[in-house]
């Protein structure tokens, strides 16, 4: 049985020329045997990719901001992330392809904390997140019709938030009408501040829950103890398991394949192999040097291979 492999998110810019950068990202993923490809987020970070093209959001001094009433884009075909996704499909027509979408709560907190226009009380104003969700829904609906896997990233939801259930419902709203088997949500960080897994399991339009299980800094290693087979079997959800740290800053920091294989074995023992959708690095690789990315993905692939041989 082959376990599918994918990224959570992208890389640092791999070439000054954007076309060459996206091509380098594709080749890097193929070289390490990934089964679900992305464009590698070569134009910018997860927030600015969307804030540039959603009316009411924008950029000022290099930062994403809320500049006015947030509305859906007039033409999703003019959204740069959509253009890059279609470029990816043209380059890799026979591969499974995934697009990462910044979640409405994360977008609201990041953009609104820098600058917020009149009409919204603050960056935690639920109406701001709801308006962003409505804008993202138009983009996601188009990408879903084109056959992409869609991943919504909501890292802030692991930090403990008062209206968690309502904010998770925004994710369901965005995915309404999409094929749920292609819809996932990624939340990194420690999952135990609230009953987050239980709340996520209630989502109707999401099939895959993507989480990190490797990093000490954010207690993500403790997430393994929160996993229970019953959560996944009762809800029908699958797990995308982050099985290698992306926090390495030197060669000695990179986890060995044996460590990766053992972590995956522990996760599968808790949830069952049938409840594993695919494996990933813990999070985005954007903060790593190119050499360390290569070595991390090598260890990730070898560790997954080691686990497969034991099955």
Backbone angles phi, psi at 55, to 5 degrees: -55, 135
Report d(CA 159, CA 140) in Å as an integer.
Answer: 25
CATH number, domain with residue 254: 3.20.20.210
Q: Cα(first)–Cα(last) distance of the chain, in Å?
A: 8
Does 13 map to a domain? no
pTM confidence score: 0.96
**Structural domains of the chain, count:** 1
Does 9 map to a domain? no
Backbone angles phi, psi at 209, to 5 degrees: -105, 125
Report d(CA 142, CA 147) in Å as an integer.
Answer: 9
Chain Cα centroid distance, residue 180: 16
Domain limits at 244?
A: 18-310
Q: Identify the helix (H) or strand (E) that includes residue 199.
A: helix 196-200
CA-based nearest residue to 237, from 265, 276, 270, 283: 276
User: 163: Cβ–Cβ under 8 A, 6 or more apart, which residues?
Assistant: 126
Backbone angles phi, psi at 161, to 5 degrees: -140, 135
Report d(CA 220, CA 117) in Å as an integer.
Answer: 35
CA-based nearest residue to 84, from 130, 38, 118: 38
Does 230 map to a domain? yes
CA distances for 189 relative to 145, 192, 213, 276, angstroms: 31, 9, 9, 19
Does 12 map to a domain? no
Does 156 map to a domain? yes
Does 123 map to a domain? yes
Q: Identify the helix (H) or strand (E) that includes residue 169.
A: helix 164-174
Report d(CA 124, CA 120) in Å as an integer.
Answer: 9
Does 269 map to a domain? yes
* 4 CB burial (10 A radius; 0-12, 13-18, 19+): middle
Backbone angles phi, psi at 238, to 5 degrees: -115, 160
In tens digits, what is the pLDDT along the chain, a chain of 311 residues?
Answer: 899 999 999 999 999 999 999 999 999 999 999 999 999 999 988 899 999 999 999 999 999 999 999 999 999 999 999 999 999 999 999 999 999 999 999 999 999 999 998 889 999 999 999 999 999 999 999 999 999 999 999 999 999 999 999 999 999 999 999 999 999 999 999 999 999 999 999 999 999 999 999 977 668 789 999 999 999 999 999 999 999 999 999 999 999 999 999 999 999 999 999 999 999 999 999 999 999 999 999 999 999 999 999 98
CA-based nearest residue to 262, from 218, 304, 232, 293: 304
Q: Buried (b) or exposed (e) across 78-87, using 16+ Cβ within 10 A? A: ebebbebbbb
Give the pLDDT of residue 1.
85
Q: Count other C-beta atoms under 10 Å from residue 264's C-beta.
A: 24
Does 287 map to a domain? yes
Give the pLDDT of residue 234.
98
Q: 3-state SS string over 34-79?
A: CCEECCCCCCCCCCHHHHCCCECEEEECCEEEECCCCCCCCCHHHC
Give the pLDDT of residue 218.
66
């Amino acid at each position: 049985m082959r376990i599918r492999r994918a990224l959570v998110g992208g890389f640092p810019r791999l070439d000054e020329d954007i076309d060459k950068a996206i091509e380098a990202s594709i080749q890097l993923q193929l070289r390490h045997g990934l089964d679900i490809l992305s464009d590698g987020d070569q134009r910018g970070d997860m927030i600015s990719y969307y804030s540039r093209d959603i009316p009411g959001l924008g950029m000022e001094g290099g930062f994403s901001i809320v500049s006015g009433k947030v509305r859906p884009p007039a033409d999703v075909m003019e959204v740069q992330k959509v253009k890059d996704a279609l470029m990816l499909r043209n380059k890799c027509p026979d591969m499974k392809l995934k697009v990462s979408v910044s979640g409405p709560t994360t977008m609201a907190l990041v953009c609104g904390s820098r600058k917020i226009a009149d009409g919204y009380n603050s960056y935690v104003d639920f109406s701001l997140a709801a308006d962003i969700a409505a804008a993202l829904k138009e983009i996601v609906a188009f990408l879903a019709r084109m056959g992409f896997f869609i991943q919504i990233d909501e890292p802030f939801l692991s930090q403990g938030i008062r209206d968690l259930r309502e904010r998770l419902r925004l994710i369901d709203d965005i995915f309404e009408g999409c094929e749920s088997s292609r819809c996932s949500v990624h939340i990194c960080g420690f999952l135990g501040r609230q009953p987050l897994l239980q709340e996520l399991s209630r989502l109707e339009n999401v099939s895959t829950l993507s989480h990190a299980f490797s990093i000490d800094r954010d207690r993500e290693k403790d997430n393994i103890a929160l996993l229970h087979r019953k959560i996944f079997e009762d809800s029908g959800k699958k797990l995308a398991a982050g099985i290698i740290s992306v926090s390495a800053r030197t060669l000695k920091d990179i986890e060995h394949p044996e460590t990766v294989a053992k972590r995956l074995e522990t996760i599968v023992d808790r949830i069952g192999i049938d409840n594993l959708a695919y494996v990933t690095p813990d999070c985005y690789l954007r903060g790593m040097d190119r050499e360390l990315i290569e070595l991390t993905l090598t260890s990730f692939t070898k560790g997954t291979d080691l686990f497969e041989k034991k099955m």
